[in-house]
Copies of this chain bind each other. A is one copy, B any other.
Amino acid sequence: MKVSLLEGSRWQTCADCAVRGFAVCAALDKTELWELASLSRHIQHEQGATVFAQATVATSFFSVLEGVLRLYKLLPDGRRQIIGFALPGDFLGLAGSPQYEFSADAIGAVTLCQFSRAGLARFGEDRPRFLRRINELAGRELTRANEHMVLLGRRSAEEKVASFLIGWRDRLAGIGHVGEVLPLPMGRLDIADYLGLTIETVSRTFTKLERDGVIRILTGGISLLDTARAEALSAA
């Protein structure tokens, strides 16, 4: 059973952008939106493409329109930690440092709204509403990061996987996803590197959750059979 994720929405103008309600621009009025649109460029990347790489000069900010990205940091010896997945509406570049803090690549095809760093900085300079919006997004990101630290430092493999599934479900719900099936566009290796585990442990844990009747494993996703049990594991 194949599962698709947020395909088919097409962008026309900022005003009827698919992510208008979620993205940075949610705080702007019509005039501002026009001005912002003039600063933005609309780009696409195919499956697996790297949008930007850790430690290269950060020339752009991005807002995700369609698709999913993995955001990750690499250690010199190749160990990888995925620090998050970016979904439609997410803004990339909050750290605001002159170099990118992490790398981002496309999981499946993605469409992005690209802004020049300087341009957006100038645009925001004297727009408190916009700055407050950025703040709000940064705060949310920080909250997610804090929770992720607890997960990485203090949870068992089973709790990690359950938390991931519940968190992913909630994020998809937040951008309007509905349905029995929870699509997982990222591979097992991505999940492992997100949870600080190995691919084998992730696979075994999925299997265990299925054996215990908590989930059902499908190609490209899962279905949550025992939500209560999963949520308990995720909170515990």
Measured CB to CB, the residues of A under 8 A from B are 73, 75-77, 79-81, 83, 94-97, 101-102, 125-128, 131-132, 134-136, 138-143, 145-150, 152-155, 193, 195-196, 235-236
Q: Which residues of B contact A125 (CB under 8 A)?
A: 128, 132
B79, B142, B152: the one within 8 Å of A149 (CB): B152
Could you say how many copies of this chain the assembly holds? 2
Complex CA distance for A148 and B154, rounded to whole angstroms: 13
Complex CA distance for A96 and B95, rounded to whole angstroms: 17
Q: Which residues of B contact A128 (CB under 8 A)?
A: 125-128, 131
Q: Name the distance in Å between A60's Cβ and chain B's nearest Cβ.
A: 16
Complex CA distance for A80 and B149, rounded to whole angstroms: 11
Q: Name the distance in Å between A204's Cβ and chain B's nearest Cβ.
A: 18
Q: Which residues of B contact A134 (CB under 8 A)?
A: 135
Structural contact, B154 and A80, CB atoms closer than 8 A: yes
Judged by DSSP, the binding face of A is helix
Complex CA distance for A101 and B141, rounded to whole angstroms: 12
If A141-B142, A142-B145, A143-B101 touch, whether A153 touches B81 (CB-CB below 8 Å) is yes
Q: Which residues of B contact A126 (CB under 8 A)?
A: 128
Given contacts A76-B235, A95-B140, A138-B138, 5 further A-B contacts (CB under 8 A): A102-B146, A138-B142, A145-B149, A148-B149, A153-B195
Complex CA distance for A148 and B140, rounded to whole angstroms: 17
Q: Which residue of B lies closest to A159 (CB)?
A: B75
Complex CA distance for A155 and B101, rounded to whole angstroms: 18
Complex CA distance for A30 and B52, rounded to whole angstroms: 41
B76, B80, B138: the one within 8 Å of A94 (CB): B138
Complex CA distance for A209 and B212, rounded to whole angstroms: 44
If A94-B142, A134-B135, A149-B149 touch, whether A154 touches B83 (CB-CB below 8 Å) is no
Q: Which residues of B contact A153 (CB under 8 A)?
A: 81, 152, 193, 195-196
Q: Name the distance in Å between A155's Cβ and chain B's nearest Cβ.
A: 8
B139, B146, B155, B235: the one within 8 Å of A138 (CB): B139
Q: Which residues of B contact A145 (CB under 8 A)?
A: 142, 145-146, 149
Structural contact, A77 and B236, CB atoms closer than 8 A: yes
Structural contact, B77 and A150, CB atoms closer than 8 A: no
If A81-B149, A152-B153, A154-B196 touch, whether A95 touches B236 (CB-CB below 8 Å) is no
